[in-house]
Amino acid sequence: MEGTKGHGDVTTVDVHTAKDLLGSGHHYLDVRSVEEFNKSHIDNALNVPYMFITEEGRVKNPDFLTQVAAISEEDHLVVGCNSGGRSFRACVDLLNAGYKHVTNMGGGYSAWVDSGLAGDKPPEELKTACKFRP
């Protein structure tokens, strides 16, 4: 029987490696809030928020794993958020839930934008998409 996965079990890659993985068939799971995702996101991304924004601050989505269950545990996933923190915690949860091929995108969508990978949207629109508060 396998034990609980910890932080040391998460593989983190930079945005260029993540782009290569996506190009080779990996799926992108965006764990930012719906508000953040709607401002701008990586093409073909699936959005399942890991946390919700409330007046009290961030609250973990209690249904995260249930909502992700539409994705096979055998699928190869690149998980990203805005800067890499939420996606890292989501990766730990996914590994503990039995997902086998989970990779965290270090730096998140902010690093994706800063690296010029976000396409032809105006820079001010992209920078707004990287702000956590709506």
130 catalytic? Reply is no
Pairing type for strands 57-60 and 51-54 reads: antiparallel
| Annotated catalytic residue within 15, 77, 81, 105 | 81
Helices then strands, counting H and E runs in the chain, come out as: 6, 7
Q: Is residue 117 within 8 Å of 24, Cβ to Cβ?
A: no
Instruction: Please give the single-letter amino acid code of residue 43.
Output: D
Do strands 46-47 and 27-30 pair parallel, antiparallel, or not at all (unpaired)? parallel
Residues annotated catalytic, as ranges: 81
